[in-house]
Structure 1
Amino acid sequence: MSRKKQQKPKINQEEEEPKNTGSSPNEELPVQTFDNYQCTGNVEIDFPLLCALLNMKEIPAVNTKHLASSTDGTEGVRDDHSQISASLLWSKPCLNIELENEDPLSAKRMRISGWKVNEQIFRAMQKMLPSITQLQSLQFWQARLTDPTVISLMSTAGLCSNLRAVSLEGNPLPEQSFHLLLSEDSNLTHLSLRNNRIGEEGARLIGSALSTTKSANKNLLSLNLAFNNVGDAGAAHIAQGLRLNRTLLFLSLSNNQIGDSGAARLAATLGEFALTHEEVVERRKLLLQRVQASSLRADLEQTSTGQLSSVHGASNRGENKDTSRKKKAAKKEEKTTEIKEKPQKKTLDGKGTNSRGGKSGGRGKHSSALEDKSSSNLNEPENMETGIPLLDSSVYRKDGQLFLPGNTTLSSLNLAGNRITENALPLFLASLEKQEEAGGNLQRLCLQRNLFPEDSECYKKINEMKALGDPLVESISEEVEEEGKGM
């Protein structure tokens, strides 16, 4: 009995051994690397794993919360900044994620505040961002990004299907690469670049990104450049960019040390202005291209008309053959009386004539219709090119120069907290009057906290003109500007 009892445990061990050997995960699972990792879209899972695969020792935490009841998205940003200002301390490295609902894949905003994003962290974010399909807003506040990381951010933003708003604030860049975020192929609609020490060169690059004679940004709706060092020279570059931009609705240049000369350039852009030599040359090129396109369309229409005529000609030749066959068949019936033959012949000839005449008339109607279509197509390019300011039908000649009504798209311009004196106010008043004549869209012109008395008559007139502005424009502009308080 003792021998049997000793043998039983051995049998059980033999039965259990194959089960244990079959569950050795370390041998069968492939080694996971950063490059082959497939992101899930869940930031709480993806971000720590990606950082670990990069051999990071200190991995920032991921803090998730649901969006506030506010639907406009600016309230949450304003609250965040007030909390940061109240604490006056650097934030502990943490990736703040705001979810649309309970679903961990519903991340709508990502925010980094007050800690340095090094190269490894940025690599992890760059790989993860395209998988967050519902992400709409990306915010960096004093994250100490570099020019290369901003360049990489631009390429990554193009891969994010719903990313439309980027905020990069308190982050000066030595090479002033901010303009890459509003390039012609950028899909961003809202961009905030406050407090980045943007000077004349940065403003020049941003102005060129807004528009040149050959290109223009067609997606950006709001641009916040408050609390920078744009100055008069930089304001002139921004004004140059506004000349041919017909997309931007909200622009803030508050607290930028802009004086009368910079304000004058901005005011001139809002009212009618004469085209420069470069703009006139480009306009002529565009007109020539339009004429060439019209000629090409006309040639194509003529070619198609000729092809249709040849088809109709072949059709008529076929009908003539049928008629000749009928005549031969009629001759075989010569046994009938002459009295019957003559009316028959006349009838046959008459039918043939009517048939040919009918075909000819149909062809004439078709060709005339094509001619009408061709002539109407000559005007098509003009209708198609209406989005190009230089080809605007409102361009007119005066005193040997060509004039454009100016930027009538901008809805809100904030120039508060600058160095504008009473001397520049008449220029703004004149531009606003021109805007009203041209059907301009400027609903809000903010000039508070400048170097002129608030009881200035010209300033009162400007406020009266804008008193009936769009309430929606007022509320949106105020919410955007609230973000700057306390910074």
Structure 2
Amino acid sequence: MKRTSSVKSKTKESKIKYSEVPESSIAISSSIATASYKENSITMTAYYNSKDQLVEIAFTSCPFEINRRIIQAINICLPFHKFLHRLRIKRSLTQTVLYEISKLLPHSNITDVCLDDNFLPQGNYYLLLDNLNNVQNLSLRRCDINDEACKSIANKMNFGCPASNTLITLNLASNCITDIGATHLGMMLRQNRTLLYLNVSDNKITDSGAINILNNFRVFPLTKDEIIARNYRKVQFFKKRNELYRKYVNEITNRLREEEEKENINSFRMLLKGERIQKRKTTMVMKYQLEEGPRTYPIIKCFEELSVAEQAEKMTTEIIGEFKDMYDDNNIIREDGQIYAIGNLRLSYLNLAYNNLGYFSVRKIYDVLKYQSNINKPVHCSGLLKIILEGNNIPDDCEELRGIQYFLESAITENIPLEVTRCKSSLKSRKKLNNKNMQII
């Protein structure tokens, strides 16, 4: 369902006219609200799902720039529209509006942001990734993004930044990115292990920039700075883990001491020593409060089966988990005293179409896919599954292109769930049996 409202930027009053049309653009409902265009009005389109819940707000046909107060008004209404997950603005974005959107995102459920066809001279689109939010899909097509703006965006997606844990797709198609910007994107892919989709088609990238991106999808040596940063993160993790462990040891010990004081210690020991009397299992219910929030979590443990140290270790592991890093022990290889990373095996879609690539990029892609096909991939990592190269100055047919096609098809086949393949095979066998039965009849 799509509803369009006319919002006056200078006055508080707004007039809306409603009419019905056959279908909406998202094929959810057939009702639409339209508004007559005026010189001093901004058209806002609201999309609703089948349950009449607001899911998208779009500004796509505004005659002039949006006023920041409109975004502030949307911000006020956010608590009443929990299913709003998409924001789309086209050709009417300003610097102040971008800033208001960056303030709106952290306390909203918006996961998709589309700002196509918006040019900002400052190029500070990175504001959208500055704070922790729920944005998973970001589209910045035809925004005249140069290498400096591309660098700012890539830096906000490095390991440890908020966007490195949330952003899944990034669309930078039809911009002004050269090999310099491609190099910054490659350095980001060296660290980022969340991004699945990257589109840099229709830019000004040559073989040099493409190779700087592709080098990070296969094994590469870690620099001294990367090794130092990795060791620092590891030390900080175990420092925090030990602090939490000691905290739980003290809590358990104090709790045990309090319980022992309440009971008759002598009679309790006699029961334990007596062979004729069945052993009594004492179970204690402990409640502890997490540092992150006010909730309390009951822990029920049998103190005859686990020691205090074992219980504290288990509680610590449940809270903080194991050390996970882009360069942890599962993602590195040690050879001849040098530490190598196995490369980015998380990104699965890469669009390099309509750039200035040649045969060297094709050769590099072939080497990357060959490497990824022979390595044991970590959990939830599939490697590259789709690469688009059309519109480049590459051979129409060569051995490397055929090899790329073979490796991509094999990778897709390996990542199809086993249940799906069994269903397909059973359907084929049923069709064969039906055909045989038809022939017999």
TM over 0.5: yes
Match of 1:435 in 2: 372
Matched ranges for 1:289-304 at <5 A: 289-300=236-247, 302-303=249-250
Q: Does 1:173 align with 2:120?
A: yes
The alignment status of 1:100 with 2:49, answered yes or no, reads yes
* Structure 2: runs of 5 or more not aligned: 29-40, 283-302, 417-441
**Partners of 1:127 and 1:411 in 2: CA distance:** 38
Q: CA deviation at 1:185?
A: 0.9
Is residue 203 of structure 2 the alignment partner of residue 256 of structure 1? yes
In structure 2, the residue matched to 1:148 is 96
Q: Which among 134, 137, 158 is matched to residue 211 of structure 1?
A: 158
Secondary structure of the residue aligned to 1:435 is helix
Distance in 1 between residues matched to 2:132 and 2:320, nearest whole Å? 25
Distance in 1 (alpha carbons) for counterparts of 2:56 and 2:188: 30
Q: Kindly indicate whether residue 222 of structure 2 is the aligned counterpart of residue 275 of structure 1.
A: yes
CA–CA separation in structure 1 for the residues paired with 2:271 and 2:86: 76
Asked whether 1:384 is paired with 2:301, we answer no
Deviation at 1:417, TM superposition (A): 0.8
Tell me how far apart the structure 2 counterparts of residues 138 and 313 of structure 1 sit (CA, whole Å): 60
Residue 131 (structure 1) aligned with residue 87 (structure 2): no
Asked if residue 445 in structure 1 is aligned to residue 387 in structure 2, the reply is yes
Q: Distance in 2 between matches of 1:95 and 1:118?
A: 12
Query: Which of 456, 459, 464 is equivalent to 2:406?
Result: 464
Letter in structure 2 aligned against 1:417: Y
RMSD between aligned residues: 4.1
* 1:183 to 1:468, Cα distance in 2 relative to 1, 3 A: farther
Does structure 1 residue 157 correspond to structure 2 residue 105?
A: yes
The residue matched to 2:87 in structure 1 has which SS?
strand
SS in 1 for 2:165: coil
Structure with greater Cα Rg: 1
Gaps of 5+ in 1: 1-41, 72-91, 324-350, 475-487
Q: Report the secondary structure of 1:210's partner residue.
A: coil
Give the direction of change, closer, same or farther, for the CA distance of 1:293–1:181 in structure 2 (3 Å limit): closer
**Cα offset, 1:458, TM superposition:** 1.2
Q: Which structure's residues are more often strand, by fraction?
A: 2
Describe the superposition over 1:427-459 as per-residue Cα deviations: whole angstroms up to 9, x where unpaired.
222222232313242210111221221212212
2:369, 2:408 within 8 Å by CA — same for their partners in 1?
A: no
User: Which one of 308, 320, 327 corresponds to residue 370 of structure 1?
Assistant: 308
1:426 aligned partner? 363
Is 1:53 aligned to residue 53 of structure 2?
Answer: no
Residue pair 1:271, 1:435 contacting (<8 A) in 2 also: yes
Matches within 5 A, 1:111-130: 111-118=58-65, 120=67, 122-128=68-74, 130=76
**Aligned residue pairs, count:** 374
Aligned to 1:197: 144
When normalised by structure 1's length, the TM-score is 0.65
Contact 1:249 1:411 in 2 (8 A): yes
Q: CA deviation at 1:213?
A: 5.5
Q: Displacement, 1:306?
A: 5.0
Shift of 1:234: 0.2
Amino acid at match of 2:401: Y
The letter of the residue matching 2:88 is Q
User: Separation in 1 of the partners of 2:55 and 2:316?
Assistant: 48
CA distance in 2, matches of 1:98, 1:462: 41
Question: How far has the Cα of 1:196 moved from its partner?
Answer: 1.0
* 8 Å contact kept, 1:198–1:229: yes
Aligned residue among 410, 415, 420 for 2:352: 415
| 1: CA distance, partners of 2:74 / 2:240 | 45
SS at match of 2:44: strand
Q: 1:307 to 1:100 in 2, by over 3 A?
A: closer
Task: Indicate conservation of the 8 Å contact 1:147/1:176, yes or no.
Answer: no
Match of 1:403 among 306, 322, 340: 340
Q: C-alpha displacement at 1:468, in angstroms?
A: 4.4
Please show how residues 308-347 of structure 1 align to structure 2 within 5 Å.
319=266
**Does the CA contact (< 8 Å) of 1:258 and 1:420 recur in 2?**
yes
Structure 1: distance between partners of 2:48 and 2:88? 15
The residue aligned with 2:426 is none
**Percent of pairs with identical residues:** 21
Match of 1:393 in 2: 330
1:396 aligned partner, one-letter code: I
State the one-letter code of the partner of 2:345: T
Compute the displacement of 1:191 (Å). Answer: 1.2
Q: Distance in 2 between matches of 1:191 and 1:297?
A: 37
- How far apart in 1 are the matches of 2:319 and 2:193? 19
Supply the distance in 2 between the matched residues of 1:447 and 1:102 (Cα, whole angstroms). Answer: 41
Which amino acid in 1 is paired with 2:307?
A
Q: Alpha carbons of 1:465 and 1:311: their partners in 2 closer, same or farther (altered >3 Å)? A: same
The one-letter amino acid of 1:148's match is T
Q: Classify 1:93/1:408 alpha carbon distance in 2 versus 1 (closer, same or farther; 3 Å).
A: same
**What is the Cα deviation at residue 370 of structure 1?**
2.7
Higher relative contact order (CA 8 A, sep 6+): 1
Counterpart residue type for residue 411 of structure 1: S
Aligned-residue offset at 1:263:
0.8
Q: Is the 8 A contact 2:182 2:209 kept in 1?
A: yes
CA contact (8 A) 2:129 2:162 kept: no
Contact 2:71-2:100 at 8 Å conserved across structures? no
369-378 or 456-465, which deviates more = 369-378
In the alignment, the residues of structure 2 paired with residue 192 and residue 212 of structure 1 have an alpha-carbon distance, to the nearest angstrom, of: 21
Q: Provide the C-alpha distance between the structure 2 equivalents of 1:375 and 1:196, rounded to a whole number of angstroms.
A: 51
What are the superposed Cα offsets for residues 188-233 of structure 1, whole Å, 9 maximum, x if unpaired?
A: 1211101111111011011111114666522222111100111101
* Contact in 2 for aligned 1:130/1:159 (Cα 8 Å): no
Query: What is the SS of the residue equivalent to 2:115?
Result: strand
Q: SS where residue 164 of structure 2 aligns?
A: coil
Q: Secondary structure in 2 aligned to 1:403?
A: strand
